[in-house]
Amino acid sequence: MMRVKSGAMALIVVIVFVAGIGGSMAFNLWKTTSDKEPAKYREGALAGKANPADIRGSYALSDIVAAFDVPLADLARAFGAEKEKDPAAFQVKSLEGRFPVDASGKEIGTDSVRLFVALYRGLPITAAANTGLPAAAAEILLAKAPLDAAGIADVKARTAGAVAGAAATAAPATAASAPAAKEPAAGSGTATKTEPTADRTIKGSTTFQNILDWGAAKQDIEKVLGGPMGAASTVVKDFATAKGIEFSTVKTALQALVDAKK
Amino acid sequence: MRKKSFPIRRVVQIAFFVLIALISVNNGLLKAGVQIPPLSEVSLHAICPFGGVVSIYQVVTAAAFVKKVHQASFILMGIGLLLALLFGPVFCGWVCPMGTVQEWIGKLGKKILGKRYNRLIPASLDRVLRYLRYAVLVWVLVMTALTGKLAFEAYDPYYTLFNLWSSEVAWTGYAILAATLVLSLFVERPFCKYGCPYGAVLGIFNLFRIFSIKRNPPTCTDCKACDKACPMNIVVSDKKGRVRDHQCITCMECTSERACPVAETVEVKL
């Protein structure tokens, strides 16, 4: 009867780990970080271009420069990383907690970088209502981004530290009055949109389960998506980003499904 | 008295502990722009096999990993499961740094409490508590599937232990780590016994593993040395052959190489 002694067990454990990891490295399967390549738009005029909505906290500024061709100097200055020892290696998640939440509740974090990059490059994006921009980022966008009047107003309204009155007079962007980027945009052609907060409103955190609960049929949802919707627990925005679909394009159609059931 | 064999398991445990500690320190240094040369930018999540387990649902339904989990976790999950299929939860007994730390503190507990160490919890209560880790496992799997995020991260003492200096650790992580370390002074491997969801997954393999701990009744002197040596309080001395207890961690402390005084009486066999 085959016995395994402790010396053999030690060897087996080490060999299985070394062989498993080494073998997967040899076949290029050993991945301990994401590729730092954001998902791409798959439809519309922007098909094939990187989607800023997929920028993640683990991205360094150099990853964003590579994916979106935003100058490092602008990116670093916008988010206060220009004095870092290596601004290119500055990770987006490092922003969390770096800027205090202002009196109006605007937060500066990963979503701010997504918004900045999208506006800088004239790409469509759906940012959260409380996503803020540092003053330096707003300054750069106002000077260099292809913004129309509504876009300029939205940037001003999102600038951290901006007075509430400025936000109110700046015609906050909504699905109906979203400022359009001057460059061609995919899908709905909108740039920034704030998320409505009313019940049964599709937001950045809405899951497929929410939409099902609100009465929409699975087949209708899949018709909008053009394919299977995935797990009910999946966040619609994450699903759209992963599939290379601009969230704003499906959001409108899904909202219509939900509204029809009210 | 037969001399115990060289404790090679300790060597393997220390090696894995040092490796994980170096990766953890490297992560901290990376933020300051310094890197330990042979170590790449590997996060602890990326090398946690349990990350692979909690990602299975997400991979099947949405073709994506749970946030912070990468392909390496899946490969390590495969390695862990292969070893478990062959030898049971050998990962727990030989590799897991959290188990190693609990054992180290347990040595201090043994010195303080003597024979009372690891025998303080009433058997009837202990028997029920042993199933708590399956409840934890179900909760973690469900919550991770519902949220698409690592639900256990905020409670994981292993992640907390190697991120003590990080701002990413939740207070619940610190609390559970502190409770685990304090309890380790009284109970051997308390987190493994009662709370570890990955141990729960691997423990199931004890029911059908290929190489099992086997007791040979004809040569057994019924001295109960195997029972006393088992960190998981498994009663080996009453088994007619294979030990199929779901809590076994294949540490081999009960075998004829370590605790059992009679040769070829308690062994890991096909």
Kindly state whether residue A37 falls inside one of the protein's structural domains: no
Co-location of A73 and A23 in the same domain: no
Which among A10-14, A58-62, A69-73 has the top mean pLDDT? A10-14
Nearest to A24 by CA among B74, B24, B96: B74
What is the spatial distance between Cα B76 and Cα B55, in angstroms, rounded to a whole number? 13
Look at B70 and A34 and tell me if their CB atoms are within 8 Å.
yes
Give a yes or no: residue A201 inside a domain.
no
Q: Are residues A150 and A67 in the same domain?
A: yes
Question: Does residue A56 form part of some domain?
Answer: yes
Q: How far is B125 from chain A (nearest CA, A)?
A: 33
Pair (A62, A147) in one structural domain? yes
Both A212 and A163 in one domain: the answer is no
pLDDT value at A238 more than 80: no
- Whether residue B148 and residue A24 make contact (CB cut-off 8 A), yes or no, is no
Chain B neighbors of A14, CB-CB under 8 A: 12, 15
Residues of A with CB under 8 A from a CB of B: 1-7, 9-10, 12-14, 16-17, 20-21, 24, 29-34, 85-86, 89, 94, 97, 230-231, 233-235, 238-239, 242
Residues A69 and A2 grouped into a single domain: no
- Closest by Cβ to B41, choosing from A20, A21, A33: A33
Using CA coordinates, name the residue in chain B closest to A7: B8
Residue A5 and residue B257: Cβ atoms within 8 Å?
A: yes
What's the mean pLDDT in A19-43? 78
A10: closest CA of chain B, how far (Å): 7
Residue B83: list chain A partners with CB under 8 A.
12-13, 16
Task: Tell me how far apart the alpha carbons of residues A141 and A133 are, in angstroms, rounded to a whole number.
Answer: 10
pTM, 2 dp: 0.62
* pLDDT value at residue A131: 84
pLDDT tens readout for residues A142-200: 888 888 888 888 888 888 765 433 333 333 333 333 343 443 333 333 344 444 444 67
A198 within some domain: no
Asked, for residue A11, whether it belongs to a domain, the answer is: yes
CB contact under 8 A, A10 and B62: no
H or E stretch at B23: helix B8-30
Please give, rounded to a whole number of angstroms, the shortest distance from the CA of A30 to a CA of chain B: 5
Q: How many CA atoms lie within 13 A of A198 on its CB side?
A: 5
Q: What is the pLDDT of residue B210?
A: 93
Domain assignment of residue A231, given as a range = 208-260
Q: What is the dihedral of CA B211, B212, B218, B224, to 10 degrees?
A: 150
Using DSSP, state whether B268 is helix, strand or coil.
strand
pLDDT tens-digit readout, B79-120: 999 999 999 999 999 999 999 999 999 999 888 888 888 888
In a domain, A178, yes or no: no
Which band of pLDDT confidence, cut at 50, 70 and 90, is reported for residue A245?
Answer: low
Total domains in chain A come to 3
Question: Which residues in A lie closer than 8 A to residue B82 (C-beta atoms)?
Answer: 16, 20
Using CB atoms within 10 Å of the CB of residue A94, give its burial: 0 to 12 exposed, 13 to 18 middle, 19+ buried.
middle
Q: Which of A138, A169, A200 is the last residue of a domain?
A: A169
Which of A14, A24, A242 is nearest residue B75 as measured by Cβ atoms?
Answer: A24
Return the pLDDT at A41: 76
With an 8 Å Cβ cutoff, are A10 and B8 in contact?
yes
Domains annotated on chain B, with CATH = 8-205 (no CATH), 211-270 (3.30.70)
Residue A190, in any domain of the structure: no
Q: Give the residues of chain B that fall short of pLDDT 70.
A: 1-4, 31-35, 37-41, 61-64, 148
* Per-chain mean pLDDT for chain A: 76
Task: Say if residue A88 is in the same domain as residue A157.
Answer: yes
Range A101-123 average pLDDT: 84
pLDDT of residue A35: 64
| Mean pLDDT computed over every residue of chain B | 86
Assess whether A145 and A250 both reside in one domain.
no
Extract the tokens encoding A90.
């500055």
Chain-chain contact of A33 with B8 (C-beta, under 8 angstroms):
no
Residues A153 and A226 in one domain: no
B42, B87, B145 member nearest A9 (Cβ): B87
Identify the pLDDT of residue B250. 93
| A22 and A123 together in one domain | no
Q: Which residues on chain A are in Cβ contact (under 8 Å) with B263? A: none
Question: Minimal Cα distance from B11: which residue of A?
Answer: A10
Enclosing H/E stretch for A100: none
Q: Which of A32, A86, A242 sits opposite B40 (nearest CB)?
A: A32
Residue that has been written with the tokens 């439809």 in this structure: A43
- Percent pLDDT > 90 in chain A is 7
Same domain, A161 and A234: no
Whole-angstrom Cα distance, residue A225 to residue A240?
Answer: 8
Interface pTM, i.e. ipTM: 0.84
Domain stop point among A140, A169, A198:
A169
Q: Is residue A69 located within the same domain as residue A106?
A: yes
Asked whether the beta carbons of residue B75 and residue A20 sit closer than 8 angstroms, the reply is: yes
Percentage of the residues of chain A whose pLDDT score is greater than 70: 76
- H helices present in chain A, as ranges: 6-26, 61-68, 72-78, 110-121, 135-144, 149-158, 164-169, 208-213, 218-225, 236-243, 247-260
- In the prediction, which pLDDT does B106 show? 92
The amino acid sitting at B86 is L
Instruction: Tell whether A157 and A213 lie within a shared domain.
Output: no
Residue A182 lies in a domain: no
How is residue A60 written in tokens? 């360094």
Q: Say how far apart CA B252 and CA A3 lie, in whole Å.
A: 12
Q: So what's the pLDDT on residue B41?
A: 66
Task: Return the pLDDT at A169.
Answer: 36
Q: Which residues of A touch B94 (CB under 8 A)?
A: 9-10, 13
Residues of B within 8 A of A13 (CB-CB) are 12, 83, 90, 94-95
Residues in A closer than 8 angstroms to B268, CB to CB, are 3-5, 9
Q: Please give, rounded to a whole number of angstroms, the shortest distance from the CA of B6 to a CA of chain A.
A: 9
Burial class (CB in 10 A: 0-12, 13-18, 19+), B53: buried
Q: Alpha carbon B147 to chain centroid distance? A: 26
